[in-house]
């Protein structure tokens, strides 16, 4: 290991498309998203939901962030928005929908 380098968690590599069988895929499943959120929340229990969602999105690759942002914009029937903010909103929306027992 190099000085200052911290190995990312295995699930972060999976979401970034660098894990086995994921090369070139941009699609993130709802289960993967919820698992990433739950593991990040375990690592950072003092953060609120939006801050945890921002950490999850930051750990993803650009393709996954754009995919989540596109899904959020389609849900809101909008054409333009900040990709990072829209992706974070999609993560929060997904977690809240599953927490409250609603399903689309």
Task: List the domain boundaries for the chain.
Answer: 26-99
Whole-prediction pTM: 0.70
Taking only the tens of pLDDT, the chain with its 104 residues reads: 455 655 555 555 555 554 444 445 568 888 999 999 999 999 999 999 999 999 999 998 889 999 999 999 998 888 888 899 999 999 999 999 888 876 54
**CA distances (Å), origin 96, targets 24, 45, 100:** 29, 17, 6
């Amino acid at each position: 290991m190099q000085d200052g380098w911290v190995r990312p968690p295995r699930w972060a590599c999976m979401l970034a498309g660098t894990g086995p069988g994921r090369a070139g895929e941009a699609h993130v499943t709802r289960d993967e998203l919820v698992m990433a959120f739950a593991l990040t929340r375990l690592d950072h229990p003092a953060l609120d939901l939006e801050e945890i969602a921002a950490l999850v999105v930051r750990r993803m690759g650009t393709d996954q962030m754009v995919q989540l942002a596109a899904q959020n914009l389609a849900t809101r029937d909008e054409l333009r928005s900040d990709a990072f903010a829209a992706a974070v909103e999609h993560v929060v929306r997904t977690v809240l929908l599953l927490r409250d027992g609603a399903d689309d």
